Amino acid sequence: MPDIDTDFDDEGRQKVIDYVVEKYGKNQVAQIVTYGSMAAKMSLKDVARVLDLPLQEANALAKLVPDRPGTSLDTVINAPIEQLQKDDNYNGDIDNIKELRQIYALKDEAKSKVIKEALILEGSVRGTGVHAAGIIIAPYDLTDILPVAISRDSDLLLTQYEGKVIEDAGVLKMDFLGLKTLTIIKYALKIIKENKQIEIDLDNIPLDDEATFKLYQKGETNGTFQFESSGMQKYLKELKPDKFEDLIAMNALFRPGPLEYIPNFIKRKHGKEAVTYDLDAMEEFLGETYGITVYQEQVMLLSQKLANFTKGDADTLRKAMGKKQKEVLDKMKSKFMDGCKTNGHDLTKAEKVWTDWEAFASYAFNKSHSTCYAFVAYQTAYLKAHYPAEYMAAVLTNANGQINKITFFMEECRKQGIPVLGPDINESQTNFTVNKRGEIRFGFSGIKGLGEAAIDNIVSERKTNGPFQDIYEFIQRVNLRTVNKKTLESLVWAGALDTFEAIDRSQYFLANDKNITFIEALIRYGNVCKEATANKTATLFGEMTADQIQQPTIPTGELWPLIYKLKLERETVGIYISGHPLDDFKWEIRTMRLTKIKDIPAFKDKII
């Protein structure tokens, strides 16, 4: 059966799974089990726990094992030390390995016993998990086909065969993947429709759009799909793509292995290197990629043309390349050479073609996959080129809670000339949005201390009855059970109430002569107003209305210094928005050419 991968937006993935269960039945749909095995460090720690070795000693033992991924305890203990010294992956670990071997050599030591038992258990199945995306669909009841189990965290059945075995059981395996890019596109289209009353059909946008290709040619692809790494941006500037096929090829080439062919691809596109073919007959299928084999489909078509492979043979060759099945490739070589001989091709050149294909097998990529991903990438670039504010607002929304990413994308917005404003009680929505002036406005969901109920109440109240005129009206209108003291403090610290210009952030925390802060006084005032409105409190002069209740006076006193105000803002929102502690030193930073800490290699991975 084919293995089908389908991408959905993050929010829609579960709906698709629910649909499949409803359509085929609960007994015909299952998730796929995964088996986790004991790695070197884990086997040591597990054995140490069983043999009652103190935790501190067990951790010290595990630390002697190199951190290199895939390290085998068997290799560390038994491989010749000279062999490990020649391996760059073990640089700096040789002393630890020698110490581990010394402990292993001690016959009666508890630690030695731990290592010996761990060597036996290494690679054993330690536990089960659930495949992140895989769903099995069977033609009839699953229990008639394979063993199943009950999943702890889902109502779906769970196969007891793992993914690589499932295909042979005669069931359909589909990967339902949640792709954040599709969520970004969906939200960007929603904002564009709300702001500009334009509905965009992304499936039918022109594939020769000049503005989109200019964006690629300048390498301005931050925030777009697949093409945003610095390495890719460098090659895009050199390639200067001007047709969709260039993007398909770059998507397939920019990965370990074919990466080395990108410079040749670029030179050949611009006529700086001759386009050559090992055999003249290869031009038909390699012409679009300037003589370089980029896709599995090219190998399939060429094997049929050069060596008379059937379509079935060609597909077997593709599968062998995709799954790196060397035994299958070795068997097919003689058939290829015989076919080339029959067709009168130079066998020396045919041998070279096959050798190149064997190397290609380690990174073979299919054009259909690359085309789909290049198209989604092109859609994101199209939106960024034509609707930059709306698209970047969607990108920022998707990065919510990831401070480094938000900071990065806010800087990208500034480079594009798009202002990113802090949260505002009268303009912010739940997520990042774009206002009527074309500025991106920070969303309420990015403020720490604001619950979902409070956000919903503020946004719906404003939508129903219009903007809040001042802080007193705001307090009167919102639900003070959800918009409580903690919520108000967070709104103040984040700068969301700065729109009420008469009050500085620090004044909300100043106390009156009764030692009641202005925030506390506002909440009392709001509760009295609501009680008066609900009960229509009667007085000697008639009913009392909210307008007649005494508003708390704005206190005066020492205001916060800028550095403290910014500190609270950063703690609440995660970044500095209204200013920066180094704003007073812009001239020095610019003229003295100071290096940012994030640009110093030794500190790059230590920035929070």
Coil, helix or strand at residue 591: helix
- Between the CA of residue 493 and those of 229, 420, 445, 468, 568, what are the distances in Å? 35, 18, 14, 19, 6
The answer to whether 432 and 406 have CB atoms below 8 angstroms apart is no
Confidence band for 540, pLDDT divided at 50, 70 and 90: very low
Phi, psi (rounded to 5 degrees) for 465:
-120, 10
**Mean pLDDT of the region 194-222:** 95
pLDDT tens sequence across 365-413: 889 999 999 999 999 999 999 999 999 999 999 998 888 899 899 989 9
CA–CA dist 510, 261 (Å, integer): 66
In this predicted structure, the answer to whether residue 541 has a pLDDT above a threshold of 70 is: no
The answer to whether 317 and 309 have CB atoms below 8 angstroms apart is yes
In this predicted structure, the answer to whether residue 361 has a pLDDT above a threshold of 60 is: yes
**Mean pLDDT of the region 455-481:** 95
Confidence band for 539, pLDDT divided at 50, 70 and 90: low
Say which residue, 274 or 533, is predicted with more confidence: 274
The residues pairing with 178 across neighbouring beta strands, listed in sequence order, are 8
In this predicted structure, the answer to whether residue 543 has a pLDDT above a threshold of 70 is: no
Confidence band for 445, pLDDT divided at 50, 70 and 90: very high
Check residue 517 and report its DSSP letter: B
Helix, strand, coil: what percent of the chain each, to 5? 55, 10, 35
Phi, psi (rounded to 5 degrees) for 105:
-75, -20
pLDDT tens sequence across 558-588: 999 999 999 999 999 988 888 888 888 888 8
CA–CA dist 393, 390 (Å, integer): 5
The answer to whether 555 and 507 have CB atoms below 8 angstroms apart is yes
Q: What is the sign, positive or negative, of the torsion defined by CA atoms of 334, 335, 341, 344?
A: negative
CA–CA dist 594, 586 (Å, integer): 11
Q: Where are the domains of the chain?
A: 3-37+126-181, 40-123, 184-370, 414-590
- Between the CA of residue 569 and those of 52, 558, 597, what are the distances in Å? 49, 19, 22
In this predicted structure, the answer to whether residue 306 has a pLDDT above a threshold of 60 is: yes
Lowest mean pLDDT among 84-98, 320-334, 359-373: 84-98
CA–CA dist 94, 97 (Å, integer): 5
Selection from 411, 412, 436 nearest residue 424 by Cα: 436
Six-digit token string for 346: 């130079």
In this predicted structure, the answer to whether residue 421 has a pLDDT above a threshold of 60 is: yes
User: Counting every residue, how long is the chain?
Assistant: 608
In this predicted structure, the answer to whether residue 608 has a pLDDT above a threshold of 70 is: no
Residue 160 is which amino acid?
Answer: Q
Confidence band for 592, pLDDT divided at 50, 70 and 90: confident
Lowest mean pLDDT among 268-282, 397-411, 497-511: 397-411
Coil, helix or strand at residue 435: coil
pLDDT tens sequence across 42-95: 999 999 999 999 999 899 999 998 887 778 898 889 888 888 887 777 777 888
Mean pLDDT of the chain: 90
Lowest mean pLDDT among 249-258, 492-501, 595-604: 595-604
Phi, psi (rounded to 5 degrees) for 517:
-70, 160
CA–CA dist 113, 505 (Å, integer): 64
Lowest mean pLDDT among 10-24, 58-72, 463-477, 493-507: 58-72
Check residue 188 and report its DSSP letter: H
Residue 390 is which amino acid?
Answer: E
| pLDDT of res. 586 | 80
Q: What is the sign, positive or negative, of the torsion defined by CA atoms of 20, 26, 32, 37?
A: positive
